[in-house]
Every structure is written in C-alpha cells, then in structure tokens.
Amino acid sequence: MKKIPLQIMALVHNEAQPSSYLVILKEEDGERRLPVVIGSFEAHAIAAAAEGAKGARPLTHDLFANTLRTFSIQMEEVIISELRNSVFYAVLVCSVPEGGIFELDSRTSDALALAIRFGCPIFTYSPIMEEAGIFWEAPQEKTSPSQQRNSLSGYTEDELSLMLEEALEDEDYERAAAIRDELKQRTSN
C-alpha cells in the first residue's frame, strides 16, 4: 500500500462542533487535504508544540515523549493507518538502539502531537486519502477591471458575446461589465 507524506497545514476551530478543532493535513506532493477532528486538549498540545512553547510542567504528550527518549526509543514516523466509521486510527512507528522497530496504536490527535515533538514524518495510505481527502482550491485573486479588460483582448467578438451571456447568467456583474466594456471599445474603434 502506497504511503502518502503529509504535513500539518492548519489547526482551526470546528464551528460544526464547538468543543472540537480540525487539523488540516496537506498532501506533500498533491492538492488534497485530510481534515481530522480532534479535541480541544489535543489541539492545545499540537499548537504548543508547533509554537515551541514550554510550560512550567510538561503536558501529557511531553511526558510521553520524555519517557520514550529516556529509554532511547526514537519515534520514526506516524502513520494514519485506518479509517473506520469516520474515525481515523494511527500508529507510532518507533525504533530502539539495537535496531528493532515496533508500532504503538494511537489516537490520531495524540500521534500528531507527538510527531511534532519528535520532528518525525506523518503519512497515510492512499486508500484513506482517496476516501477522506478533499481537494483544496486556492482562492482566486480578484482582478481589477483594467486587468480583466486586458485579459479579454485575445477573444473574438463572438466568444466575448457568449462569455457575456454566461457572466450574466452567473450574476457575475463585474465580469459582465468588463466584457461589455471590451465589446464597446472594439465597436468604437
């Protein structure tokens, strides 16, 4: 099964569930995002680690990370390994100095909080990304009317007339005005 590398892109408040947050994981070599619902405690643990904040006393995730380090256990990677009934499951892939590798089951939110503390990579499998990944379209920048007119200069009058009809149907009046102005400019020349 192909592993897909992920990066933590954002941590946002989940307005659908007021006491929870969303961790948005970004596919490193693609446009898909994997949104994972987490609790407020885990959100705080992820945010604190991402910001490098040190509290007076260690958080639970810090305690666990310190324990692993004390016994020379290195966390190699986190894998979001399953999706069952809309719940993500994860494993921590760890190594010991003698060369042994072992896995620990984990809640995904805890695994992400630990991945930040160890600086280790995060992965998921392609079937999980195919099922739960969403495509992210970056917001398009608004163009000024003069930029719109300049971008319209390469179209024929027939093409512009069709584009004008579509813009009016879509109620995109700024675009329609720019197309209208381009048509007027051509007829006045």
- 56 residue type, one letter: A
- 102 residue type, one letter: F
HSE-CB at 38 with a 13 A cutoff on CA atoms is 26
- Does residue 108 contact residue 88 with C-beta atoms inside 8 Å? yes
Residue 4 in tokens: 């897909």
Domain architecture of the chain: domains with CATH = 3-135 (3.10.690.10), 145-188 (no CATH)
pTM to 2 decimal places: 0.70
Tens-digit pLDDT string for the chain (189 aa)? 899 999 998 888 887 787 889 999 999 988 899 999 999 889 888 888 888 887 788 889 999 999 999 999 999 999 999 999 999 999 999 999 888 999 999 999 999 999 999 999 999 999 999 999 988 654 444 555 554 445 677 777 777 777 777 777 777 777 878 888 888 887 776
Whole-angstrom Cα distance, residue 132 to residue 76? 24
- Does residue 90 contact residue 80 with C-beta atoms inside 8 Å? yes
- Does residue 43 contact residue 21 with C-beta atoms inside 8 Å? yes
**pLDDT given at position 149:** 46
